[in-house]
A and B are shown apart, each in its own frame.
Chain A
Amino acid sequence: MSKWNRLFKPVLVLVLVCTAVSGSLAVAHSVTGPIIEEAARREQEAARLELLPEAKGFKRMLGYGVEQVSDICVAENGAGVVVTAKAKGYGGDMTVMVAFSADGTIKRIKVAEQSETKGIGSKVAANSAYWAQYEGLPARELVLNEDVDAVTGATKSSRALLEAVNAAVKGYRAVQSIGD
């Protein structure tokens, strides 16, 4: 009896608790998983269209293997290219979508995912007025405080955004050079 209480009961209870919790997680995941995925896919499509409204349908370009670039989508009607790239910010990865016009300039940028400090890094990562600085810049390696200004107190976030845009530029040039 005492051995049962001292040794086996704790183990059994812990195993049961873990199993029950894992089970409920599995149920929750099977219910919400497809909804979350579908929402993310639709959100990406909408974000691409928001950046490049002239485009009619996108073709995903695969196999360029440019570092930090996760996705390159070329508009099927030649309106431009949308590149998704990542860089490490102050609070984790910052995912940035950059739209390039057909004439090879940056049309618009948008930070799709970020976890920068609210009130500080968010002045860079969640501020479309700051992103406007990038509009119209040529698709070449950009330099902080020359092409775009850093936000005071949020240098690391500013640098992360620039790094992601520069990675996107590399991705864009990779697609262009093969297309030419």
Chain B
Amino acid sequence: MTRKRYTQAINEALHEEMGRDPKTILFGEDVALAVFGDTRGLLDRFGPDRVRNTPICEATIAGMAVGAAAAGYRVIIHMLFSNFIYTGFDAIANQMAKLRLMTGGQIDLPITVLAVYGGGASQAAQHSDSNHPVLMNLGGIDVLVPATPGDAKGMLKTAIRNNRPSFFLQASGLGAVGGDVPDGEHLVPLGKASVAREGRDVTLVNVGSMIRATQNAAKKLAEAGIEAEIVDVRSLVPLDETTIVESVQRTGRLVVIDEARDMCSAASQIAAVVADKGFSALRAPIRRVTVNNVSMPYAPNAEAAIFPNADDIVRAATALCQPEVAAA
């Protein structure tokens, strides 16, 4: 086990997987200089055939990923900010998500799309979306939101290696955050949530970028006598419904924390699953801590007001626990 930063863990995964399979190629905007640090050193090591800077043309980057994968390559593309997915969306939603079905399974599409998502750094509305719900709704595409360096490395390696199209979404606020990463070959299965903290009173389901706020909230809640269980969802498609529902069966209460806009967020889906499959265990309504249905503003104070934080989570969880807390 070695302590590494989130970005460094991603960089290692890319180096290892490109080293492992010579048919793995990577292209996208500014991958040579690695503006986020994640693709650093790949061009020098693997050369300009396999690592290419593209023009700024997301529609073609995403479409080429489909064509090159259909023609036998294992493809990694970098979309930079996840907002830029929108300019490449035909190739993602109409081609990448559907080609395997439409061809009756004649091909696999081993494609991994890297993109950095989320706000919190005054990047303003067009560089701050948490747009995983848009991708979750497509069907046929894995949506991964690792929250720790260890999971980032292990899940990225699994995603590159399997034959499914996947979006590996990197939380913009987590890039410099450190964490333990197992040494040697480290693969994390997809579609498995992890219980990051055990607790008896309330389940906090974290979606990707909100992990620190969720952890801080759990600490504050503990100080107030409420023991929160944190389920880090890790992967939204496939979604580990079992781990989430089982946790709620233990605690009877659920708060889902998601940086997406509230409407049709990942939190909405998780709430629906628990309402459907864990209804009898619920002792209180389900709460979602999300972003209002607004775009992220620029000004630091305005963004902070919109951005979900630990206090929002504490408030939501405390309200759910109120009768018992009062009785105790």
- A, B bound: no
Q: Which B residues have a C-beta under 8 Å from some C-beta of A?
A: none
